[in-house]
A and B are shown apart, each in its own frame.
Chain A
Amino acid sequence: MGIQGLSRLIADVAPSAIKENEIKNYFGRKVAIDASMSLYQFLIAVRQEGNVLTSADGETTSHLMGFFYRTIRMVENGIKPVYVFDGKPPTMKGGELAKRAERRDEAQKELVKAEEAGNTEDIEKYSRRLVKVTKEHGLEVQRLLALMGIPFLTAPCEAEAQCAELAKAGKVFAVATEDMDALTFGTPVLLRHLTFSEARKMPIKEITLAKVLDEAGLSQDEFIDLCILLGCDYCDSIRGIGPKRAIELIQKNRSIDKLLESLDTKKYSPPADWPYNDARRLFKEPEVTSAAEVELKWNEPDEEALVQYMCAEKGFNEDRIRNGCKKLYKARNTATQGRLDSFFKVLSSPATNGNKRKAPEKNGPANKKAKTGGGKFKRGK
């Protein structure tokens, strides 16, 4: 999934691009969420004694549970989520998907073995790996979201790419996914762990693309090449080149084409007919619906219809659903807290200037003067 080892590499080469924040600090922010990723998460994680939750007639409901409660948690914290579902996979992902199918088959075999041996731990482990998201799961969640008044859309192709498009156009503040290739698609701000359970107390990791590029000294095109070298979903990478070599090579050669010219082919052999150019194009011009055509609207939840769907059809507890609805109403009717940075302009972030004690005269105080200069003593009242 995503880009191999990218998050660790960013932590190494551009530590200041990563910030940890509490969920409550994201009030008022619109966030695009990779719904297909969340579907997997919930089907895997929302379980009781190792089994997925089901309604009385045996239909899985883990995903509905997850979407209902985690969405409410975000809304309660003032976040305005918009979910983006995957469309058809790009043809280039065929190889990756085949690999995943292979792994699934393996897990199936292991599961049979574990069942024979009666090893409960293994049964749980492998059954989790067998989780498959079906079209029905997606449709059920979409029905739920519509009733909750939360907007969603289906991407023509990859959800991450569509999320990135919304964020780039300023329709949303950030993209929430665990998939690092959202950055490769050009997402300005990526949030990880947003859809995790509250009980895990995981702080939200905010990764700012501009800071990554700035600190690593790369352009977006070079960054895309770096991601291809690290290993993406669309094509193979060069055997033997790990994250450290990859960034060195890109920083030196500035592109995969140049790098191939000087690469010691005896030591490293790039895949034959390597389609890195196509992968590049997929990252740069992915198939997406233009953000201008997307209209996002958050509506009132339809309480009665929700109760009907979730309780009568899916067997959820009515009190809980009604309670959840109350929270949705309440969050809608409180005014959103504004942020100072939307009123005042950010002048500089001193940390990007390196060690502040080395060059404080140039940065900090000079800016401070410019900023407070007018207001310092003048406004006597």
Chain B
Amino acid sequence: MFEARLVQGALLKKVMEAIKELLNEASFDCAHSGILLQAMDNSHVSLVSLNLRREGFDKYRCDRNLVMGMNLSSMSKILKCASNDDIITMKAQDNADTVTFVFESPKQEKISDYEMKLTNLDQDHLGIPETEYSCVIKLPSAEFARICRDLSQFGESIVISCTKEGVKFSAAGDIGTANIKLAQTATVDKEEDAVMVDMQEPVTLTFACKYLNMFTKATPLSPQVCLSMSPDVPLVVEYKIEDIGHIRYYLAPRIGDEDN
């Protein structure tokens, strides 16, 4: 038996918005410690890793480990039926081939339940090594979303270059070039409004706008975003989800070609 009750149902709705554009389907791996999801997009350029710890749920029960393969567009349709202040419960029997979503209105006067078929998914799982990154940049998530949106008008890719002065985002294309520089915030009043750069060595990498813009769909989940970069390895974009876990996106860089 698996059951997870989340008082802040809106959170699950936001998580859904943050992954459904990137992934068509994904497996939710439910274990005693919480729910994990790892999946790559179809072209294997980016990866979503979602972690929801059991402590973040109002009630969490998972007797046996369970892998639930879900079609995310179907799941999204169901979650759209929940109001923002609803309490959401996910339930499944052991070895079941369906999952049930229960929505309770705050005053309990309305209870709806939706049952969804699960699917068998054939997805590759990747082992992600623990890495010390050369640059770790923290900035307000809304600012990052804005930068990605603005720069994607100029070209298909964004160059992120991090030095000890700060971080520079740039793009170039047919209409011209664009550069946005962020300096480290000198005095920190509120941590989530600050730009913080922790750098061991400078890094410059190029990434496809298309994916960055899909990652920024997670902006409502957290006021702050953390970018981790090292030379020639994938970028990590992390949004912490308060009290419950995080969502991390990995994105392979664009690289110059050696056979040309």
Contacts and interface: CB of A to CB of B under 8 A. Distances in A.
Decide if A and B are genuine partners. Answer: yes
Interface of A: 16, 21-22, 24-25, 27, 30, 80, 296-299, 332, 334-351, 355-357, 360-361, 364-365, 367-372, 374-379, 381
B125 interface: yes
Given A16-B122, A80-B259, A347-B124, 19 more contacts: A296-B259, A338-B45, A339-B43, A339-B44, A340-B250, A341-B40, A344-B128, A344-B129, A347-B126, A351-B120, A356-B120, A364-B65, A364-B125, A365-B65, A368-B29, A370-B127, A371-B127, A381-B136, A381-B226
B125 A368 contact: yes
Contacts of B47: 340, 344
5 contacts: A27-B43, A344-B129, A350-B122, A355-B120, A372-B128
Interface of B: 27, 29, 31, 36, 38, 40, 42-47, 49, 51, 53, 64-67, 69, 95, 97, 120-130, 136, 138, 156-157, 198, 206, 208, 226, 233-234, 250, 252-257, 259-260
A343 B67 CA distance: 25
**Among B64, B256, B259: residue with most chain A CB under 10 A:** B259
A350 to B, nearest CB: 7
A339 B36 contact: no
Contacts of A379: 130
Contacts of B250: 340, 344
Contact of A356 (B44, B67, B130, B198): B67
A336 B257 contact: yes
Given A360-B66, A364-B27, A365-B31, A335 B128 contact: no
A16 B95 CA distance: 22
Contacts of A25: 42-44
B256 A372 contact: no
Contacts, number: 146
A372 B36 contact: yes
A350 B253 contact: no
Given A351-B120, A364-B67, A371-B38, A339 B127 contact: no
Nearest to A363: B67
A361 B65 contact: yes
Nearest to A371: B127
B42 A335 contact: no
B211 to A, nearest CB: 9
A378 B132 CA distance: 12
Nearest to A352: B122
B64 A361 contact: yes
A56 to B, nearest CB: 36
A339 B126 contact: no
A24 B254 CA distance: 15
A340 B44 contact: yes
Contacts of A21: 42
Nearest to B259: A298
Nearest to A344: B126
A348 B233 contact: no
A336 B254 contact: yes
A372 B43 contact: no
A354 to B, nearest CB: 10
Contacts of B46: 340
B254 A337 contact: yes
Nearest to B138: A381
Contacts of A361: 64-65
Nearest to B124: A346
A310 B260 CA distance: 24
Nearest to B53: A377
A150 to B, nearest CB: 12
A343 B234 contact: yes
